[in-house]
């Protein structure tokens, strides 16, 4: 909104500046107020402008709030009740019977005979022969010779020197001080406490028992005798009853109370005092002395010697020899023989047998029970919302001096033009529905109310 008002102010200032330039250009610089006498330079062009003032206002906004409310209503609940009902049912009973059925079977009869069969087989015959496979091998021959090697070694030489060593030791110093110690002792305290006990007391109570109901002949109002059941005389029976009775009794109770006891005890305290001790410690120093040594290193050389090795390899060959063999094969033949048999065939005969069973029949019984339910109740809550309004304050504005430097001191009657925030667009007025609108300029953009984020109307641009 601030940017929008600043833009409108800049637009009105530009229009005013353009109007002044047009007036000067109409006279081409020849006719202007600079050449007028001071009497003609009177403040006849002053006008009233409006200044925008912002004000923060508050308005009441109602919000709808839902609150839970509990209420009690009746709900119908159906309970299932089971009743026994006799039902006659029928079950099927099967009885087993046997009948004879003749049938014909074919029994196989097996007969065994022998058949002579000749066949040829190949029998393997193995023969062994030797083959000469000689080969040449290279055998290594090792020879050993000595080689002289010189090397330098560092021989350690150890010397003993004395070094002064200072160290700080903590010497213990024992002192005896008195320390106050507190400890808690449980002291026995004996009190009398009232204890209530329930004792059973025996009382004799009388109880009236009605007599037996006996049939008796009485006369009705019409004088006709009839049989009625009339109760007999009752009797009073005394029976013992155990009644509880509360008895108070004083009982001694011992309890232990804590008590703090203070005691001074001598305690030995050991503290350490630093003390510097100087000692001379023998230290062995080792230095290395170079020394040349010579040693004989055996070197082993190898040379190869060729040798011929004779090797006879046995070779085993196999050849097959044909032979004729005879074998007897048993042959079994089967022939079928017809026979008559009789078998017992069981069969079942079904019959219906009645029986009575008790069936539980379910029945629904309604009952009403109270139920607590929760419902949401709407309520309007007022709230104060801040919004910003703009109002226009009239301000008198006079134009620049038309007489030039002659009336710069105000002798012509003109007031100096406003500077800063008071220099606002001329010829504006205050409107209740929006910001200031310049007269005679209906084609310019006007402001219409629009919803603000906080709930207050704000001006918007509309044509």
* Span 409-429, pLDDT tens digits: 444 444 444 444 344 444 433
Rounded CA-CA distance 264/179 in Å is 6
pLDDT at residue 5 in the model: 64
Q: Are 59 and 352 in contact (CB under 8 A)?
A: no
Least confident of 57-71, 103-117, 291-305, 439-453: 439-453
Last residue of a domain, one of 275, 309, 343: 309
The answer as to whether 337 is a domain residue is no
The answer as to whether 184 is a domain residue is yes
Domain shared by 166 and 291, yes or no = yes
The answer as to whether 122 is a domain residue is no
Domain shared by 392 and 274, yes or no = no
pLDDT at residue 459 in the model: 40
What is the distance of C-alpha 395 from the center of its chain? 68
pLDDT at residue 44 in the model: 52
pTM score: 0.20
Last residue of a domain, one of 309, 332, 361: 309
pLDDT band for position 45 (50/70/90)?
low
Report pLDDT digits (tens) over 139-153: 888 888 888 888 888
pLDDT band for position 20 (50/70/90)?
very low
Question: Is residue 460 scored above 70 in pLDDT?
Answer: no
> Which is more confidently placed, 26 or 150?
150
Last residue of a domain, one of 309, 324, 351: 309
| Domain count along the chain | 2
Question: Is residue 318 scored above 80 in pLDDT?
Answer: yes
The answer as to whether 202 is a domain residue is yes
Domain shared by 27 and 155, yes or no = no
Question: Is residue 455 scored above 80 in pLDDT?
Answer: no
Residues in CB range of 319: below 8 A, 6 or more apart:
124, 125, 127
Domain shared by 161 and 12, yes or no = no
The answer as to whether 46 is a domain residue is yes
- Nearest Cα neighbor of 41 from 332, 399, 383 is 399
The answer as to whether 389 is a domain residue is yes
For 41, the domain range is: 2-63+382-462
User: Quick one: what percent of the chain has pLDDT higher than 70?
Assistant: 76
3-class SS at 400? Answer: coil
């Amino acid at each position: 909104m601030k940017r929008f008002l600043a833009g409108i102010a800049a637009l009105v200032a530009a229009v005013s500046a353009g109007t002044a330039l047009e007036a000067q250009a109409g006279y081409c610089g020849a006719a202007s107020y600079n050449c007028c006498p001071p009497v003609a330079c009177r403040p006849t062009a002053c006008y009233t402008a409006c200044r925008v003032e912002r004000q923060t206002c508050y308005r009441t906004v109602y919000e709808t709030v839902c609150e839970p409310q509990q209420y009690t209503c009746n709900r119908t609940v159906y309970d299932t009740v089971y009743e026994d009902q006799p039902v006659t049912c029928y079950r099927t009973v099967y009885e087993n019977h046997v009948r004879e059925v003749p049938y014909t079977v074919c029994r196989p009869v097996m007969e065994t005979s022998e058949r002579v069969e000749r066949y040829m087989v190949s029998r393997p015959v193995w023969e062994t022969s030797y083959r000469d496979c000689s080969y040449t091998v290279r055998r290594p021959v090792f020879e050993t010779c000595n080689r002289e090697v010189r090397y330098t070694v560092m021989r350690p030489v150890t010397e003993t020197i004395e070094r002064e060593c200072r160290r700080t030791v903590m010497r213990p110093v024992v002192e005896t001080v008195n320390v106050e110690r507190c400890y808690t002792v449980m002291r026995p305290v004996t009190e009398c406490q009232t204890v209530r006990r329930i004792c059973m007391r025996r009382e004799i109570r009388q109880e009236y028992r009605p007599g037996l109901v006996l049939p008796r002949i009485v006369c009705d109002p019409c004088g006709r005798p009839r049989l009625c059941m009339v109760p007999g005389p009752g009797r009073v029976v005394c029976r013992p009853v155990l009644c509880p009775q509360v008895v108070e009794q004083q009982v001694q109770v011992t309890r232990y109370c804590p008590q703090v006891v203070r005691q001074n005890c001598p305690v030995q305290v050991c503290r350490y005092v630093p003390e510097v001790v100087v000692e001379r410690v023998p230290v062995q120093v080792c230095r290395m002395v170079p020394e040349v040594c010579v040693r004989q290193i055996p070197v082993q050389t190898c040379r190869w010697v060729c040798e011929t090795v004779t090797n006879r390899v046995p070779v085993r060959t196999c050849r097959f020899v044909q032979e004729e063999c005879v074998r007897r094969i048993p042959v079994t033949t089967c022939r079928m023989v017809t026979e008559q048999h009789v078998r017992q065939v069981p069969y079942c005969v079904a019959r219906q047998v009645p029986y009575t069973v008790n069936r539980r029949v379910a029945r629904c019984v309604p009952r009403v029970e109270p139920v607590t339910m929760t419902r949401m109740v709407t309520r309007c809550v007022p709230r104060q919302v801040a919004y910003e309004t703009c109002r226009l304050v009239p301000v008198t504005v006079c134009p620049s001096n038309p007489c030039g430097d002659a009336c710069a001191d105000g002798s012509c009657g003109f007031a100096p033009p406003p500077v800063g925030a008071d220099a606002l667009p001329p010829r504006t007025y205050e409107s209740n529905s929006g910001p200031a609108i310049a007269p005679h300029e209906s084609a310019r953009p006007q402001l219409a109310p629009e919803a603000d984020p906080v709930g207050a109307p704000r001006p918007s641009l509309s044509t």
